[in-house]
Structure 1
Amino acid sequence: MTFAAVSNGAPALKPLALACAFSFSLLSGAALADEQAISTVHVTGARFPSDAALPPVGATVITAEEIRSAGVGDVNAAIRKIGGVYGRQSLDGSPDFGLDLRGFGTNSSQNLVILVDGVRMNENELAGAVLSSIPVDTVERIEITRGGSSVLYGEGATGGVIHIFTKRGTEPGYHGSLVLERGQFDQHDARATLRHGEGPLSFDLAAGHQATDNDRENNTFRQKTVSGGFQWAQDATRLGLRVESARQEARFPGALSLAQFEQNPHQSFKPNDYGTLDSDRAVAFAEHRIGSVELAAELSHREREVVSVYDFGGFLSEGVYRSRQTQFSPRLRQLARRDGLLNEFVAGVDLIDWQRDTSFGSNASQDSKALYLRDELRFAGARNARLALGGRHERFEKKEANPAQFVPNGEQKQNGWSLEGSIDPMVGVTVHAKAGRSYRLPNADENGFRSSLGLLEAQTSRDLELGVTVGAKARQVSARVFRHRLENEIFFDPTVTPSTPFGANTNLDPTRRQGVELDAGVDLGADLRLSGHWQHVQAEFTAGPNAGRDMVLVPKNVLTTRLAWLPANGQSFDIGAQYVSDQRYGDDFANGCSARIPSYTTFDARYAIKLGAWEVALTGLNLADRRYFSQAFNCRGGIYPSDGRQLKLSARYDF
């Protein structure tokens, strides 16, 4: 089979480049050099801090204040509980649940892009981003953009993008916090942060130790993290460096059958399986403004070592993965105004080099080079009309260092594009529309165990979204309808048997994700706020022998709600609930299994009181002690139970 992306080729971007260059030159005479500095912002647009008039369309923002009031202890939990993103129980006992935007099932982590301070965290293998290594107390905000975003963020962004921004020590003097927490399952957590600012210089440090036995046998988890950075910011220039390091130890309880789960969900039949993960990352960043043009770049390097030990009938098998990823992302933005017209032009390059060595010879590398352009116009007038057009061309070179794995070397190319706009037809109402093409490339693990002779083909998606937002923050509702029409979706198909009876990674027949998303928030008086997120998604085959059948491990409905009580007397109370509807077991492509993963509802709550510089809090998770599971890979089997009820007591000191 041939690659559609290759036949499209780079020339498809020429009209876009000419249009963007024309608008850039037309408005460059109205430079902003003599105007005030760009407005203070709370969200990030086209990979730059947004101008106040050009916030990202349809983004969900989680603030540091919301994270603290909800009492979540890690970034992953904040994304799930506050952002309403569905997550599946991790397989290793870590807090790194598998996050799923728009119903991509077991491959959800390969269909969303996660960034920290502009640096891509995704791996070129079947592994999710390790968010538990990011100290939650250092997070300034989290931005969630649902839907195809390949123009700005590259491959794997069909489901959307989650961007995490950390705090910078820009306040004068010393500031910091100390958090101590103790809970059931022998859970204990200690975190400390320190920030200092003096003139143009600032630095921050954070360290943490996290441990829990979890709710199952042989499921202990231990983690140590340390991170720090400094920056120099003055006038139109900002320079800085950050380093992060994490060490994890985990024991793997393995899967249960449905009968075993119903008998005792705490048990494990894998007492000797365990693993470790070491991760180190360094990022240097620079920003500079010259008149109306802003220049920015990040240079990052990350190294990971994963060791896994499994017991096969008394024989211990050890596997070691070592990977390295270097990314360089220079870019520029030009803002210009003329006759009430605001124009934002963005151009950038992403260069990523990834390599992996393993103890069993599955060595691989991938080199990617991308160019992207985006131009947005905001028209004068009370209706705040906006129109944006963007395109991306990306080239991948894949190499397999061990010929015994029978993975061919090869080059793949892809184009992505997006067209989006919004308008306010009346005061307090904004309507937006998005259309585009996004893509995903097969990773090293998928090509290593595939159904085809050559490399798996690239997955592509035609994306469409229509939405409306009504009201202001005190009383606001946002609704979106979306559709993703996928060709060559990359997925593990248990019915494919090239050389074993267990299946293989393959390109599926055409599939589709479509549905509705609803976000709402309302202030119920001065002290109470109710918020919620509902996602309804239909994930199904649209052609081939499985046409009309549901995709696996995708709940049709996920509803997340929170009620926050924040009086001015130092007390706070926060309660949340999440409902997840039933879903197909992981191998049920034919929809023939008479059972489904049952629906479930979980509740969590937190009460806190401030005593001077101290805050004492009591937190409860899964308060109803619901016995449920969200990971199950076989019909009535392959089940990874979720945790039961847990109570935690914490004390926090701020200075």
Structure 2
Amino acid sequence: MDDTSFLRARSVRVGSLLAAAALASTALPAFADEGPDGQIVVTGAGLEKTPGTPAYSTVEIGRDAITTSASGRIEDVLTQVAGFQQFRRSDSRSSNPSAQGVTLRALGGNATSRALVLLDGVPMADPFFGYVPLPALTPDTLGSIRVTRGGGSGPFGAGALSGTIELESAGPDQLGLVNGQLLASQRGETEAALSIAPRLGSGFAVVSGRWDRGKGFFTTPESQRVPATVRARYESWSTQVRAVAPLTDTVELQARALVYRDDRLLRFKGATTSSEGQDASLRLVGRGDWQFDALAYVQVRNFDNIVVSATSFKPTLDQYDTPAQGLGGKFELRPPMGENDVLRLGVDWRRASGTMKENAISAATGAITARRRAGGNNTDLGFYAENDLTLGSLVLTGGLRADRTVIADGYFEVRNTAGTVTSRTDYATQTDWTVTWRGGAVLRVSDMIALRAAAYTGLRQPTLNELYRPFTVFPVTTQANAALRNEKQKGFEAGIDLTPAEGIRLSVTGFDNRIENAIANVTIGTNLRQRRNVDEIRARGIEASAHAEVGIVRFDGSLAWTDAEVRNGPLSNLTGKRPAQTPRLAASATLGLSPAVGWDIAATLRHVGQQYEDDLQIDSLKAATTLDMFAQVPLPRGISLVLRAENLFDTEIVTRNAGGSIDLGNPRTLWAGVRVKI
């Protein structure tokens, strides 16, 4: 397959567009029924956070920090929280989407998310792979982000093994009626985004879209390039409709439809990869005496990928279709218990199903040699209760979850070119009941000092990808494993929060977390790995954060030092080694200036320590320190000039090292463009 196939057109499912129209039409009539007088103000958010939330290590990212990142990408924003990491250091322009798993606290990973990412309460992880579709999450449309590190209870808590990342959408007050930007880089790459957020009666709607494209950069070092080496070209777009309307004076309806597609070309000519999705959700939020949050969502996702040999530079595998579906919902009730007692009772359910479809190809002849399929269904039914008690300056919180997990209908099948089944394995159904819990306390010693402590357990079900899909990243092949068990976490932490003056916040947390039955890519032979449960990954460390906003100056800093190791029995060659892709030290510091209305200048310095590509600590990824810059200068008529610089000093960022075969991250990239806000 040549480069003309890189941006293969695939029509967006008509059903998804109809869903978007249906969601919007459901909400819009309610807008028109309200006049300008006596309006009911809606928020578009979920229920208020509970008093016990500060008992856990929590970082808030405001809209100013979200909209002043140098790359304009959500993963760049989240790296402000030290301890946040993807499987690789590449961003979503130059990495395979299946490597976009996110985690916290250096708990390792294998490209699957160990952190729960929610957009307005909806889990965003891909139903088949477990990665997060980062290009579809547009920072410009977000109002705030809350990152809670450590195991989670509450809704969808079975996915919050290392923590929870809650993305909250912005409304008209933050977006304005029209908000858009258009930028270009020195390589001719472009980024365009637009949102329209009209108030309609007592509610509002937000229609937004984003389009990124570029020829990219060479991820291959110059010394390793061959004639087949190409730049990491990319093109992605997303569009969403969000509508919020009051149904009564205490109940509001929130509806969303999201459609996206992402195309990339990685390393070699013809090595294309694409992902797409169509999501829809409905949410009812009640803020009366009996508060409630009811949510239902559907996700339709797909992925395709062509693997090109690093020796013959011809296709050897065509993963041409990976359709996956996600269904889920939750209902949470908060009965009236009194001012100092907040009780949450809830149930949530998720179902993930999908099928891998791929053709093995002869590099010599280009002919298909085998047709393979694999897939299955995963479900999780959870019941949870959590209670926060405020006793003067002391807040106590505790939560309990019970999860029924089922892994069913798993299979792996091989057919010859004539369509005859040559082998098929059907896997036994796995079922489990798991009880997890968390609890904590916050003591406000004074207006300046708060002490906190927490302990928790957690759960993560293996993904369909880990169970059934093998893959190759030359020269290493990684096998799937249908016998994988659920990961379980145990952890505790203690910290202190300081507010020595208005606008200044300091926080330090010490933690000790363990993942039992941790799923890792384990070396079992030369250039051969398999996903396996190891006995335990233990991570102990310190997290520190600082926020200061004094006059025209603001500062945000974050640091995480983690001592993480694998424990897999005294005879294992993994015991005592650091998990793959896990740095010991990560830090970020942003200094911002707002000298006048509309002006914004920010510089971000980041450091990621040395880490290892593999489980045996053979292939090293050296430490990297980068500097990013952002500037916004107001012009007349609501227009602003925007200048951005990524990796200003052009630091070499090694993102992959497989036996000396190296990939590199984003080099120095300079952007210029305009923003418009009306």
Matched with 2:184 is 182
TM-score normalised over the length of structure 1? 0.83
Matched with 1:490 is 519
Matched with 2:383 is 372
Matched, 1:460 2:488: yes
Matched with 1:8 is none
SS of the residue aligned with 2:535? coil
- C-alpha distance 82-104 of structure 1, shift in aligned 2 (>3 A): closer
Count of aligned positions: 584
Matched, 1:421 2:441: yes
Matched with 2:231 is 218
- C-alpha distance 317-51 of structure 1, shift in aligned 2 (>3 A): closer
Which deviates further from its counterpart, 68-77 or 447-456? 447-456
Matched with 1:648 is 671
SS of the residue aligned with 1:148? coil
Matched with 1:607 is 631
- C-alpha distance 194-51 of structure 1, shift in aligned 2 (>3 A): same
Matched with 2:498 is 470
Aligned partners of 1:478 and 1:519 also within 8 Å: yes
Matched with 1:297 is 294
Q: Which amino acid aligns with 2:307?
A: Y
Shift of 1:274: 0.8
Aligned partners of 1:491 and 1:508 also within 8 Å: yes
Identity across the alignment (%): 16
Cα distance in 2, alignment partners of residues 82 and 437 from structure 1: 22
Shift of 1:92: 6.1
Aligned partners of 2:628 and 2:646 also within 8 Å: yes
SS of the residue aligned with 1:509? strand
- C-alpha distance 478-328 of structure 1, shift in aligned 2 (>3 A): same
Aligned partners of 1:176 and 1:193 also within 8 Å: yes
Cα distance in 1, alignment partners of residues 629 and 487 from structure 2: 41
Shift of 1:642: 0.7
Cα distance in 1, alignment partners of residues 136 and 652 from structure 2: 28
SS of the residue aligned with 1:417? strand
Q: Which amino acid aligns with 1:611?
A: L
- C-alpha distance 202-148 of structure 1, shift in aligned 2 (>3 A): same
Unaligned runs of 5+ in 1: 1-38, 254-269
Shift of 1:85: 2.8
Aligned partners of 1:170 and 1:196 also within 8 Å: no
Cα distance in 1, alignment partners of residues 69 and 81 from structure 2: 8
Q: Which amino acid aligns with 1:376?
A: N
Shift of 1:617: 1.4
Q: Which amino acid aligns with 1:61?
A: E
- C-alpha distance 57-541 of structure 1, shift in aligned 2 (>3 A): closer
- C-alpha distance 281-559 of structure 1, shift in aligned 2 (>3 A): same
Aligned partners of 1:50 and 1:56 also within 8 Å: no
SS of the residue aligned with 1:503? strand
SS of the residue aligned with 1:105? coil
Aligned partners of 1:238 and 1:286 also within 8 Å: yes
Matched with 2:594 is 566
Shift of 1:61: 1.4
Aligned partners of 1:92 and 1:251 also within 8 Å: no
Aligned partners of 2:308 and 2:316 also within 8 Å: yes
CA displacement, residues 173-224 of structure 1 (integer Å, 9 cap, x when unaligned): 9701121101122210111110111223321101221112222133100012
Shift of 1:40: 10
- C-alpha distance 219-455 of structure 1, shift in aligned 2 (>3 A): same
Match of 1:528 among 553, 556, 566: 553
Q: Which amino acid aligns with 1:308?
A: N
Cα distance in 1, alignment partners of residues 42 and 253 from structure 2: 19
Q: Which amino acid aligns with 1:648?
A: W
Matches within 5 A, 1:574-589: 574-587=602-615, 589=616
Matched with 1:346 is 345
- C-alpha distance 385-49 of structure 1, shift in aligned 2 (>3 A): closer
Shift of 1:166: 1.3
Shift of 1:334: 2.1
Q: Which amino acid aligns with 1:246?
A: Y
- C-alpha distance 367-459 of structure 1, shift in aligned 2 (>3 A): closer
SS of the residue aligned with 1:445? helix
CA displacement, residues 535-581 of structure 1 (integer Å, 9 cap, x when unaligned): 01111123422332222221100010000111225322100000111
Unaligned runs of 5+ in 2: 1-40, 219-229, 359-370, 414-422, 471-477
Shift of 1:336: 2.2
Shift of 1:84: 6.7
SS of the residue aligned with 1:77? helix
- C-alpha distance 501-310 of structure 1, shift in aligned 2 (>3 A): closer
SS of the residue aligned with 2:79? helix
- C-alpha distance 479-40 of structure 1, shift in aligned 2 (>3 A): farther
Which deviates further from its counterpart, 370-379 or 194-203? 370-379
Matched, 1:104 2:134: no
Shift of 1:301: 1.1
Matched, 1:321 2:325: no
- C-alpha distance 364-454 of structure 1, shift in aligned 2 (>3 A): closer
Aligned partners of 2:296 and 2:330 also within 8 Å: yes
Matches within 5 A, 1:585-596: 585-587=613-615, 589=616, 591=617, 593=618, 596=620
- C-alpha distance 357-271 of structure 1, shift in aligned 2 (>3 A): closer
Matched with 2:17 is none
Matches within 5 A, 1:193-212: 193-212=195-214
Match of 1:556 among 559, 584, 597: 584
Cα distance in 2, alignment partners of residues 70 and 445 from structure 1: 32
CA displacement, residues 461-507 of structure 1 (integer Å, 9 cap, x when unaligned): 1111111111166222111111112221111102x25xx86121111
Aligned partners of 1:451 and 1:506 also within 8 Å: no
CA displacement, residues 427-485 of structure 1 (integer Å, 9 cap, x when unaligned): 32111111121122222222225989862122211111111111166222111111112
Q: Which amino acid aligns with 1:603?
A: L
Shift of 1:624: 0.6
SS of the residue aligned with 1:447? helix
Shift of 1:532: 0.5
CA displacement, residues 75-122 of structure 1 (integer Å, 9 cap, x when unaligned): 222112467734421486269765331113342642111111111112
Matched with 1:128 is 131
Which deviates further from its counterpart, 192-201 or 52-61? 52-61
